[in-house]
A and B are shown apart, each in its own frame.
Chain A
């Protein structure tokens, strides 16, 4: 009866995304366009408006810090969990549940505060920090314009 399980095709991958903000929604749309399986979890139903009309994945309304909600998203079957809510603490907690309770191989998490990054390193969770990324990019652009001036 495996056929009727939600995420049965392991080969195409099953991604659970927590937080339907701009980043989460555009990521979900991109994955769905590639015809891979996506589940989007957000506690506010209205957030799902950001998903495009062509979005073919599932949505689930609920608080992702509640493990029952994560279980109903069939998080155990996921091979990637991306936690991109607007709250660092929520992201930390979800990522920890995904890694330590559900043993998901890939856990990616957004982090606004770069000082907390060290915590994640210990847990083996990949982090994306917009602050650090932006700093690096702006630095690069500045360097470029300086080079242009000198030349």
Chain B
């Protein structure tokens, strides 16, 4: 039996996995019996997906592949499963009569990509759907391939793992790596729920908010997000959870092993600290002068919201519509930079930003130094010091350029579809592309479908790190051509 599962095709396994994830929200039914009428909305797509997955397992034969073919298959498969997951994930909202199709698709994409933008009115939505949204984020933070690997593994495991964009190996086997990550994630979930509950948050809210913060997702069951609780302790816990969520899993493992010094040596963590040390006081100052806040209040708001934007979580303590433009600008900057590579966060990523900054300073320095002086900038990762060489630099600058191009294009498209001020469009699209989920009044239950579609594209591209979408399409072309030749 086990042998059979391992040998079955990955397409089938992943499709069936989506079905299983769709069934998970039924677990809350015992606590909310009044939501029983909505069970069918989850059962139908869930079971259909599992059956489809089983059928694919039986029909698609796995054949031995060359390494190049395997890579193309991997890229295509990861792209497929994310698109399929978003489509299937939208169905419960439609079948449950909660949203229109485009809205449901938006909500599902926002969920799996751990964005947290929402078109639902959380005050009237049944709890089972609220749980479902947050659960999607919790799973999306890990990625479908990672979840599948927790249960079953097979050949091509490493190829898929790389294709989904997980850069780190923590353990000498893939199985152990995946299990360690999932275990850490679960442990933090338990700790987070406990901490929230201690501070007086209802348990259901605590589960949702911990899932949202750890996955840097940001769905809340309160209309005013974390701000609804008016509690410094809850805000503090959320800040810590968001920082955990945005930290690279390899660094988290160092922290869990209590190797503080090794962890503090990591460039990403230092850069995160530096960014916070600079921008929190600046934002506090802007808020104090612009909104006449006290020093304490200003620092508290600045810390929470900057961490929320930088970690690409998207919890808010207040509305941004009255914020001074300078503070909005800082928030957009934070959302563009984003969290740590190899975490659940989105954005350009801290390490890429750091590499680009280092390259810029190296260039400046080279211009004023003797011609033959050689310097190699390097960054320290959890695994050790790595030099910033030409291939790294090329990959990084390629990504950053594409990211900024997409940001510009998306912002302009939003300006056209929504006709809102440029700053608001920038804020909203930076939030989509970086899978953040903060909003400044553009996204809500009454938003037009065209705007939602632009944001859906932004979220998917952002979560799949842009290149995967294009390599997936490229791989599809390659495989089709090869089939023709045969």
Q: A interface vs B, CB < 8 Å?
A: 1, 3-9, 12, 14, 32, 35-39, 52-61, 72
Contacts and interface: CB of A to CB of B under 8 A. Distances in A.
A15 B158 CA distance: 19
Contacts of B257: 1, 4-5
A61 B173 contact: no
Nearest to B160: A54
A37 B172 CA distance: 5
B253 A4 contact: yes
Contacts of A14: 172
B67 interface: yes
B162 to A, nearest CB: 7
Contact of B173 (A4, A56, A59): A56
A67 B173 CA distance: 23
Given A1-B257, A4-B180, A35-B153, A54 B173 contact: no
A54 B158 contact: yes
A61 B384 contact: yes
A6 B175 contact: no
A9 B177 CA distance: 12
Give the 9 A-B residue pairs with the shortest CB-CB distance, closest first.
A37-B172, A56-B174, A54-B158, A56-B158, A57-B172, A58-B172, A37-B173, A4-B257, A4-B256
B171 interface: yes
B67 A37 contact: no
Name the interface size band of chain B: 20 to 34
5 contacts: A1-B257, A9-B176, A53-B70, A58-B169, A58-B172
A3 B156 CA distance: 26
Contact of A37 (B171, B180, B383, B384): B171
Nearest to A78: B172
Interface of B: 67, 70-71, 153, 155-159, 162, 169-177, 180, 183-184, 253, 256-258, 383-384
B156 A54 contact: yes
A52 B67 contact: yes
A5 B180 CA distance: 10
B71 A39 contact: no
Contacts of A61: 384
Nearest to B74: A53
A53 B162 contact: yes
A9 B171 CA distance: 11
Contact of A54 (B159, B170, B258): B159
A24 to B, nearest CB: 15
Nearest to A40: B172
Contact of B157 (A8, A12, A52, A54): A54
Given A35-B153, A54-B70, A61-B384, A7 B172 contact: yes
A147 B162 CA distance: 53
Contacts of B174: 35, 56
Contacts of B158: 53-56
A6 B180 CA distance: 10
Contact of B169 (A5, A9, A53, A57): A57
A125 to B, nearest CB: 23
A87 B58 CA distance: 51
Contacts of B170: 6
Contacts of A39: 172
Nearest to B252: A4
B175 A35 contact: yes
Given A4-B257, A54-B157, A55-B158, A35 B173 contact: yes
A53 to B, nearest CB: 5
Contacts of B156: 54
A56 to B, nearest CB: 4
B471 to A, nearest CB: 14
B409 to A, nearest CB: 33
A9 B180 CA distance: 13
Given A6-B170, A53-B67, 14 more contacts: A1-B257, A1-B258, A4-B253, A4-B256, A6-B171, A6-B172, A32-B173, A35-B175, A37-B173, A52-B67, A53-B158, A54-B67, A56-B174, A57-B173
Contacts of B162: 53
Contacts of B155: 54
Contacts of A37: 171-173, 176
Contacts of B253: 4
B70 A36 contact: no
A5 B176 CA distance: 10
B89 to A, nearest CB: 29
A32 B257 CA distance: 25
* Most chain B beta-carbon contacts within 10 A, residue among A3, A8, A14, A38: A3
Nearest to B162: A53
Contacts of B175: 35, 56
Contacts of B258: 1
Given A4-B256, A35-B153, A53 B172 contact: no
Contacts of B157: 54, 56
A26 to B, nearest CB: 14
A62 B272 CA distance: 28
Nearest to A57: B172
A59 B386 CA distance: 13
A55 B174 CA distance: 9
Contacts of A56: 157-158, 169, 173-175, 177
